[in-house]
Structure formats: structure tokens, C-alpha cells
Amino acid sequence: MALVNAAVVVLDCAEPEKLAVFYKELLEAEETDVTANLVEIRGADGIRLAFRRDANATPPSWPRPENSLQVHLDFLVEDLDEAERRVVGLGGRPLETKSAPTEYEERGYADPAGHSFTLRILPSMAPKQG
């Protein structure tokens, strides 16, 4: 067993209840803990996210340089177009990024509170032919 294990990623936001609904729907998650200032969810795959109330939270401006990135989440998907429709339908928005190309096909988004995240095509596990 590792000395340190990841427990939960916590995002600060002005309205944790609303942001929790976005990620709960996106990840098909369930609420595991709710207090006056924190909502925690666990996705079907085990990922745990929490949303902590911060009345002074300011959304990051990434990819613009005016404000720091603060946090960035990556999610693996099988169908980028279908996942994008879901993100936008839940209140997320696409981000125009000019990142260097990677080996993965990916798209950037912001959640309703402005936190950035990436949807990335699930890498193929099939053995290479040839």
C-alpha cells in the first residue's frame, strides 16, 4: 500500500450545490456528504470530488493569462461529440485553447463555475497491428 493515497479533489466555488449537480450528472455520481459549506460526490468509477463554498471565489480565466489556472481535470470518454453535448447541456462551455498538440484527441471546457477540464478520447487498449 502507498504511503499517501489520493482522497478527494476539492474545488472552491460560490455555489457548491449547483456545481455538484453539474458533476453529479456528468459523472453519473452520487452524493456522499453534504454540509452547509461542502458537497462531496463519488462517481461510478470511484473518483471523489468535493465542492467547497467560497463566497469570494473567482473563476480562472485560463487559457487567458489574467488569472491562474488553479486546477485542471481530465476525463476519459469514448465519444467526444456525445460527451460535449452532455457537457453543454449541463451548463458547461467549450474553451478555445491553442495548446500544443498531444498524442490524444481532446477538447477543453469550463464548468458552470469556470473551472477548466478536458475531455480526452479513451486510449485504445488493443494491441498494435503490424
100 falls within a domain: yes
Q: Yes or no: say if 118 and 108 are a contact pair by the CB < 8 Å rule.
A: yes
Q: What is the pTM of this model?
A: 0.75
Give the CATH number for residue 41.
3.10.180.10
- Report strand pairing: 9-13 vs 38-42: unpaired
**In degrees rounded to 5, what are phi and psi of residue 48?**
-115, 130
126 falls within a domain: no
Domain range for 15 is: 9-121
Give me the mean pLDDT over the 53-63 stretch.
Answer: 80
Q: How many CA atoms lie within 13 A of 5 on its CB side?
A: 5
Query: How confident is the model over 74-110, as pLDDT tens digits?
Result: 888 989 999 999 999 999 999 876 665 666 688 999 9
- Report strand pairing: 38-42 vs 48-53: antiparallel
Count of domains for the chain: 1
pLDDT at 58: 81
Q: How far is it, in rounded angstroms, from Cα 41 to Cα 27?
A: 9
